[in-house]
Every structure is written in C-alpha cells, then in structure tokens.
Amino acid sequence: MAKNPSDREPDKHYGGRGDPVRSMALLWRDGATPARGRGPKPGLTVDRIVASAIELADAEGLAALSMRRVAERLGVGTMSLYTYVPSKAELVDVMYDTVCGEVARTAVDGGWRSRLEAIARANWDLYRRHPWMLRVMAMSRPPLGPNSIAGYDHDLRAVDGIGLSELEMDSVVSLVSVFVQGAARTAVEAASSARDTGVTDEEWWSTYGPLLEKVFDAKKYPVAARVGAVAGEVYQSAYDPAHGFQFGLARLLDGIEVLIESRHQ
C-alpha cells in the first residue's frame, strides 16, 4: 500500500522536489545578484544563505533547517530570503551541491585502485563532516549541479581506459558510492546514539554484558561466543564503523579487481 505523503520522514529530502527551473537556475547560477526590492538586507546573497543553512544543518541536522531559522542566523526577515531562494526544497539541493565542492579532485598517484580508494575516503570524510547529506542523497535523483557533475566526472576518470565498458565504469563508481554512503550512515548513527543517550558503547556494554552472561549459553552458540568475545575485546563494542569501512572498502576493491582482470584475459 502506498504511503501517505504526511507519513514520510520530515528530515528526508529527495532532489527535484522544488521547482525544476528555479532549482537548476540556482545550481548553475552565474553569481549575479537578483534585483532588490524593499526587503533584502544589503550584502545578502545566495552564497551567504547557503553557507548559513549548511552551518545550521551541520550543527542541528536537516530536521532543524527552515527558512525562518536561516533568516534568524543571518539577522534578516524570513521573507528576505525568498528573493534569492524560492523554498527549502531548492535550498537543500544547492546546499548538497555546494558541499560536494569540498572534495579535492587532484590527481592521485598509482593505478585505478589507489584512485578509487582516495575517492571513497574523501567522501567518507565529507559525510562525517556533513551527516545531513545522508538524508538528502537518492542515487536515482541526484542534485544536477556543477559540483555534483564534476565529482561524477572525476570519479569516472579513476576507471577510464582500463578495459571497462561505459556501463561497467558507471556501475563501479556507483558501487563504491553506495558502499561509502552505507558505511558512513552506520558511523553517523553510532555517533548519534552516544550523543543522544549520553551513554557510550563501552558504558552500554558494561551494563548489558554482565546481564547477558547470566542468560547466554556459550555451548549452545559456540561460534557466536568465540567470535563475539574476540570482536568485543578489539572493538570494545559490538561493531566498529571505522574498521567496517576500511575492511569493506578493501574487499570491495578486491572484487572490482577481479572484474578488471577478467577484461584482460
């Protein structure tokens, strides 16, 4: 059964929810300042609005973002913003594309594996700096701005000329992107649980561990007992997101290597 639009998560955003013409005009703007009416404060620009919105989302999450809150941070009336940005929907698209511009796109020494690893780590860091991005991105509806497209082009160059077809190049880049998003989302949620509850993973396990020992039968679950003991000792938790990212990325690149080698046989 289809969900009622009102049931959707309030802080989740999909690209293209705003006016398409206005969104594209903002994403690809030439830097010109719109004509001022009576409302806008001198010096107010799209870039200032977007920068303030990013700071707010970084600090409080996408759910806290509103045109009113951004206006308050800038010290202007809410209606002043609408001269520059039509609505929150278009604003979020521009925010996303703007932070995509933070990723360094310099040449990386080495072959395709080094290049893909550098891309993955750069995006991992980007999502950790701006966790709200994980509430925005939908692979099938990416914000079609200059930084997003420049990033896609840069990522494709990492696997260009190594024997893959165009579709395989796109699939490899998308595979790495999806993996990094998932790993970053897990890391962000782990950090949020500690922040929101005021209890670290180590503190949580120090409480629940002794209780589990009273009911857990190691003879009934011998493999879980053996492996869980080792992992818990190393991670001091049930899971270490940073280790999961590093281990998963290495295995993912191993799989891509098999594909590439098959093209040279």
Choice between 219 and 143, residue whose per-residue pLDDT is larger: 219
DSSP state of 1: -
Task: Tell me which architecture the domain covering 9-100 has in CATH.
Answer: Orthogonal Bundle (1.10)
Nearest to 81 by CA among 39, 129, 23: 39
Q: Which two tokens stand for residue 119?
A: 């891309």
Domain boundaries, the chain: 9-100, 112-262
What is the chain's mean pLDDT, rounded?
85
Does the pLDDT of residue 4 top 50, yes or no? no
How confident is residue 123, by pLDDT bands cut at 50, 70 and 90?
Answer: very high
* In the block, residue with structure tokens 């059964």: 1
What does R_g of the chain's alpha carbons equal in angstroms?
A: 23
Measured CA to CA, the distance from residue 205 to residue 213 in angstroms comes to: 11
Task: Tell me which architecture the domain covering 112-262 has in CATH.
Answer: Orthogonal Bundle (1.10)
DSSP state of 33: P
How confident is residue 107, by pLDDT bands cut at 50, 70 and 90?
Answer: confident
Measured CA to CA, the distance from residue 101 to residue 151 in angstroms comes to: 8
CB 240 within 8 A of CB 201: no
- Tell me the pLDDT tens digit for each residue of 133-177: 998 866 567 778 999 999 999 999 999 999 999 999 999 999 999
Measured CA to CA, the distance from residue 126 to residue 230 in angstroms comes to: 31
Dihedral, 164, 170, 172, 174 alpha carbons, nearest 10:
180
Choice between 53 and 8, residue whose per-residue pLDDT is larger: 53
Does the pLDDT of residue 182 top 60, yes or no? yes
What is the CB neighbour count within 10 angstroms for residue 74?
A: 19
pTM above 0.85, yes or no: no
